Copies of this chain bind each other. A is one copy, B any other.
Amino acid sequence: MKAKEASVYLEQVRTQNPLIHNITNTVVANFNANGLLAAGASPVMSDAPEEAADMAGAADALVLNIGTLHPEQVESMFTAGRAASRKGIPIVVDPVGAGATPYRTDTARELLKQLEVTLLRGNAGEVSAITGLESDMKGVDTSGDRKDTAVIAEHAAQTLGIPVAVTGPVDAVSDGRETYQIYNGHSMMAKITGSGCLASAVAASFLTVSDQVVEAAAAALGFYGTAAERAEGFAANQGPGTFQVELLNALYHVGELDLRQSLNMKQVTNDDE
């Protein structure tokens, strides 16, 4: 993907100002809302079953994040997910902590099974836990090796039958055949809470402007990673407090020129399948 194409997606988000319905965790709700606003989208957070269908029906995309899940919220996720499919808007699932407890792993799997999910976005450990990759592929390092996120994303996409984004030091987005590796980003992202959650929400906002899920998600992660690089450029090792502030600033300011200078991704097509 060229920077030009990624910046077209970004400009469309900023022009169309899509409403993103987030059923998300209490830890990152504020940061994600501010991140979406900064990037040009409109956030709404709501997890009451009483309004789940109405809110999803009013939105342009739905994000289901299980970071602080509980039964009533999970009920809302299913209700909102079905409403989203009726309306035909994209659904992004963020399986925070899948693998850490059976409740999380099982809930993530059920969401993927019962709903028409557009994109799964997690880290290597979470996505591997969902697909059971550990038992299938001994020796795969899920802690962030460059090659591995692509392998994990491709395997998960083939197993689940939907596009999957795996973020880490190198991000990967795959539909099982076509895979993007995104080299943008900064290690400080691991020092603030919710940076992965916000990646999912930003990806959802890009999915509202294109049906090309893999391309749009890759563009979103390239934009997000470019913003992180710019943020640490300004934060200059002052620490994670400043980095978080500068990340919001960068999501607001990064434009085509920044993407031209910094966007760094590679596309691989697997014709062996």
| A interface residues with partner B (beta carbon < 8 Å) | 25-31, 33-34, 37-38, 43-48, 50-51, 54-55, 58, 67-72, 97, 100-104, 191-194, 238-242, 244-253
Contact = CB atoms under 8 A, between A and B. Distances in A.
Given A26-B45, A30-B31, A34-B192, A103 B241 contact: no
B101 A38 contact: no
Given A50-B71, A245-B245, 10 more contacts: A30-B30, A30-B193, A45-B67, A45-B68, A51-B103, A58-B101, A238-B249, A239-B250, A241-B248, A242-B249
A244 B247 contact: no
Given A246-B241, A248-B239, A48 B30 contact: no
Nearest to A103: B51
B70 A47 contact: yes
Contacts of A44: 97, 100
Tell me which of A30, A71, A103, A251 has the highest count of chain B C-beta atoms within 10 A of its own C-beta: A30
Given A29-B27, A43-B193, A102-B54, A38 B70 contact: no
* 8 A-B pairs with the lowest CB-CB distances in the bound complex, closest first: A239-B249, A241-B248, A241-B245, A33-B193, A54-B101, A51-B103, A51-B101, A48-B70
A202 to B, nearest CB: 15
A43 B251 CA distance: 25
Contacts of A37: 191-193, 240
A27 B48 contact: no
A242 B240 contact: no
A239 B227 CA distance: 12
